[in-house]
Amino acid sequence: MARQIAHRLLISFPALLGVLFLCFCLLQVVPADPAMIIAGPDAKAETIAAIRLELGLDRPIPVQFMEYILRVLRGDLGRSIISNKMVTEELGMTIGPTVELMLGGMLFAVPCGLALGTLAAVNRGRIADRIIMAFSVAGVSMPVFFIGLLLIQYVGFKWGMLPFTGRTGPVWDGGLPSLILPAATLGAVLIGPIARLTRTAVLEVLGADFVRTARAKGLRETVVIVHHALRNALIPVVTLIGLQAAFLLGGAVVTETMFSWPGVGRLAVGAIVSSDFPTAQGAIMILAMAFLLINLLVDVLYVYLDPRVQRS
């Protein structure tokens, strides 16, 4: 297991380097000059040139990229152009809320999706199965921003049941009410795909010999479904959950912007809009690292669910 994790980490490093290179190149073509932003609109040309020289913006782009990578390896992500704070400091204040939002969305989506998919499989062809599948298709078809707008309009604004803007604090310090709507918005788009794949996987397992043997032993149907059928059907579902959890990072950007959630996604959007290149690069790097880490955790979970994966 340790060798497998080390191997995946080594593979992830070139991927992260490629993401940083693409991000660096894309930000270079943005029609904005960081030196001009720092100097202000009324600055003289000499002042702007001096700032460009100080920041190293007068050097060739490959040289700038190599210097940036060396700074990243030292843990120096630069200083924000807008706030003049260290990028690591700003990221440190936003990583916690983003992790909180991601975990909240997953804790909402995964149990609901597994339960609905298993219920649909057990009641195959009945009215419950049809209702759950219709709900799943509707969930897949609706984008994150549409679900968020519905929750903001009705649950937050019209009915006044929950706060829908900002973060009042950590979950353990009275911040749970402000987390519910963003987490539900982020997790709602996952329930449909998880439920549909769970239904298909459980239906395949229910016809297996070990399930018939478990029933022949006189075990309760609940034990047969949960302990025998569902666990053995989780391998493809875990694959989907891992992929969807990684893509949740994109949904987190939209969700954090809609709900004014102080996370990395909102920080990245604000940095790109304001041409704050160091902050944008740092935020994108963190999101890419989170994507790679989630894929690594999925591989480790494979081995836990099916030890044959490690032997193969």
Residue 278 CA to residue 272 CA, distance in Å, equals 10
Instruction: Work out the number of other CB atoms within 10 angstroms of the CB of residue 183.
Output: 25
Beta bridge partners of 86: 79
Residue whose tokens read 């209702």? 131
**Cα–Cα separations (whole angstroms), residue 184 to 141, 193, 195, 234:** 16, 15, 16, 23
Helix (H, G, I), strand (E, B) or coil at 84: coil
pTM: 0.81
Give the whole-angstrom CA distance, residue 93 versus residue 169.
Answer: 12
Neighbour-count burial for 265-301, b at 16+ CB within 10 Å, e otherwise = bbbbbebbebbbbbbbbbbbbbbbebbbebbbebbeb
Stated length of the chain: 312
End-to-end Cα distance, the chain = 12
Residues in CB range of 69: below 8 A, 6 or more apart:
17, 20
pLDDT tens per residue across all 312 residues of the chain:
677 777 777 888 888 888 888 888 877 777 777 878 777 777 788 888 888 888 787 888 888 888 888 888 888 888 888 888 899 999 999 998 998 998 999 999 999 999 999 899 888 889 999 999 998 888 888 888 899 999 999 998 888 888 888 888 888 888 889 999 999 998 888 898 999 999 988 888 887 878 888 888 877 878 888 777 887 788 788 878 877 777 777 778 889 988 989 999 889 888 888 888 889 889 888 888 888 888 788 777 766 666 655 555
- 8 A C-beta contact, residue 184 and residue 162: no
* C-alpha neighbours within 13 Å on the C-beta side of residue 120: 24
